[in-house]
Amino acid sequence: MKISSKSKYGTRAVLEIALNQNSKLLTRKQISRNQEIPSSYLVNILISLKAKGIIRTIRGPHGGYELAREPVDITVFDIVEVLDGPFELSANLNDEKNFSKSSTSVSMGVWTRVEKAQGDVLKGITINDLVQETRNLYSPDFSI
């Protein structure tokens, strides 16, 4: 499975919102600038994430975007499914023309395991994990 730019941008946008969750709401313009995501592309991503309950908007002069759920409850898998649709390999595993008759059951078993492993990795990474990794990466360590 190939992860689309839309999913990569969506993950970055949700991460940016999460990094600022306890301090301020972010506007689309701020998310776009901070994460270098084209604003015109970001608008559709944010609409989809909002429709599926990953983020929400607060209206008003100090409004913006915030997470609709706790960062520990949002996985990268959730974001990919919202933005790319149901998680599956690029080649349809049920399409027998992708496999020779003699290798169909063996090959399908391999690709099914690959698909499951990819899904498990994405389900195992939460936005909270990414927040912690980002903070660790950019936090100076003054230990001697």
| C-alpha–C-alpha distance, residues 13 and 79, integer Å | 10
pLDDT for 110: 84
Class of domain 5-86+126-138 (CATH, top level): mainly alpha
Check pLDDT > 80 for residue 122: yes
pLDDT for 101: 58
Give the E-state strand segments of the chain in sequence order. Answer: 55-58, 64-67
HSE-up (13 A, CA, CB side) for residue 139: 8
Check pLDDT > 70 for residue 140: no
Q: How confident is the model at residue 53 (pLDDT cuts 50, 70, 90)?
A: very high
Q: What is the mean pLDDT of residues 84-98?
A: 64
Q: What is the mean pLDDT of residues 112-123?
A: 90
pLDDT for 38: 96
